[in-house]
Amino acid sequence: MPSNVPNRYVNRPFLRWLLVGVLLIAGAMGALWYNEHRAISWKDTLDPFYWWRRWHNEDLYLPQQDLLLHGNHQLPEVALTFDDGPHPQSLPSILATLQRFHVHATFFDVGENMAAYPNLVRETLAEGNEIGNHTSTHLRLPHLSPLERHHEINDADITFYRITGQHLYLLRPPGMDYNDRVLAEAKRLGYIVVGYTVGAKDFVTDESVSFIVHRTLDRLENGSILLLHDYPDTARALPAILKGLAQRGYRVVTISEMIAHLPLKPRLAAVQFLRQQGDPYFGPEVASCGTASASQSVVKVRTKKEYKVSQSN
C-alpha cells in the first residue's frame, strides 16, 4: 500500500498540466470560432467601455458626428447596402433578386456611374430602394483638400438631383475612410454618415460566391449593417444571402427604415437631423414641430412603408 503514495504525488502535476493544456486548446478553439462568427470586432469585444455604451444604446448613432454605426439591438433586422454602383453588369440582377424576395436595399452610388447610367438610378428608386452618396469619383476623402472634398461629396448630389429631382441624405465615404474633417464636411452638407458592421469582402475578385455568402451570414446580429458591392459575384451570391437571412429570422430593411426603428434617444437625434435637412422620408413638411412629434412621424413612416413589427418595439 505505501507504494501508492508517491504515485499520487507524481500524477498531480501531470493532471494540472493536462488541465491547463485542455483549457488552452478549448480557449484557442473558442477564439477561432468567435473570429469566424463575430458580429463585432475584437477591439470592441475586449473594450469594457464598448459594452457600457452598448448597454446604454450609445453605440448605434453618434449625434455629434451624425454617424450611424449599428441598428437596433432588440430588433431582428439587418440592412443590406450595396456600394460602388450603378453597374449595368450586376445591378439589373440585384434589383430582380431583391424584388423576387420582396425586400429593399440601400445603394451607395458613385456620381460618375450615376451620370453614365441614369436609367439604372431611376429604376433603383422606382422599385422602392433608396440611394445614398458614395462620392463623385470614389476618392478617399481624408486625403483631399477642403475644396476637393466638398466637390467630391457635393457633385454626386448634383448628379443625382439632375436625374431624379431629389437630394441625397446618407453618405458612405469610400473605403469607410474618414476623419474629423470628413465628418464635419458631411454634417455641413446635411448627411448622416453610414458605417457597416459586416463586410462581405466581395471586392476581392478571386473569392468565390460561397465565400461571400458565408462571410455575410456568419457574422450577423440584430441591427447589423451589411456591406456588399454592386458587382457580378455579389449579384450571384444574393439569392443565397437573402434565403439565409430569412432562415435565420432576420427582416431586411433600408438604412432609413433602420434609423426609424432605432431606440427612442438615438432615433430622435437622427430623425431630427434628417428633417432639418429636408429628407422627404422623414417628412420635411413637419420640420418645425420639434422633438415631441418626431416619434409620431416614425409611426407615419411605418404606415407608409407597411412596416408590421411595431408591436415588438
Cell of 258: 433602420
Cell of 94: 440585384
Give backbone dihedrals phi and psi of 245, rounded to 5 degrees, phi first: -65, -45
Query: In the bound complex, what is the minimum distance in angstroms from residue 198's beta carbon to Zn ion?
Result: 15
Query: In the bound complex, what is the minimum distance in angstroms from residue 135's beta carbon to Zn ion?
Result: 8
Whether residue 151 lies in the annotated active site: no
Among candidate residues 104, 132, 117, 128, the one with its CA nearest the CA of residue 163: 117
Toward Zn ion, which CB reaches closer, 61 or 107? 107
Between CA 297 and CA 290 the distance in angstroms is 11
- Paired strand residues for 253: 79
Between CA 212 and CA 236 the distance in angstroms is 10
Cell of 8: 499520487
Number of other residues whose CB lies within 10 A of the CB of residue 249: 9
Toward Zn ion, which CB reaches closer, 66 or 109? 109
Query: In the bound complex, what is the minimum distance in angstroms from residue 84's beta carbon to Zn ion?
Result: 4
CB-nearest residue to Zn ion: 83
Query: In the bound complex, what is the minimum distance in angstroms from residue 132's beta carbon to Zn ion?
Result: 11
Catalytic residue among 66, 83, 84, 230: 83
Whether residue 218 lies in the annotated active site: no
Between CA 128 and CA 303 the distance in angstroms is 15
Query: In the bound complex, what is the minimum distance in angstroms from residue 229's beta carbon to Zn ion?
Result: 7
Q: What per-residue string of b and e applies to 62-85 under the rule 16 or more CB within 10 Å gives b?
A: beebbbbbbbbeebbbbbbbbbbb
Catalytic residue among 104, 151, 229, 261: 229
- Interface residues with Zn ion (CB under 5 A)? 83-84, 174
Toward Zn ion, which CB reaches closer, 83 or 152? 83
Query: In the bound complex, what is the minimum distance in angstroms from residue 12's beta carbon to Zn ion?
Result: 59
User: Within 13 Å of residue 126, how many CA atoms lie on the same side as its CB?
Assistant: 10
Task: Give the type of residue at 136.
Answer: S
The torsion region of residue 157 among left (phi > 0), alpha (psi -120 to 50) and beta comes to alpha
Between CA 305 and CA 128 the distance in angstroms is 10
Toward Zn ion, which CB reaches closer, 132 or 174? 174
Number of other residues whose CB lies within 10 A of the CB of residue 105: 26
Toward Zn ion, which CB reaches closer, 117 or 273? 117
Toward Zn ion, which CB reaches closer, 139 or 158? 139
Q: How many helices (H) and strands (E) does the chain have?
A: 13, 10
Q: Which residue has the cell 440611394?
A: 131
Residues catalogued as catalytic: 83, 229
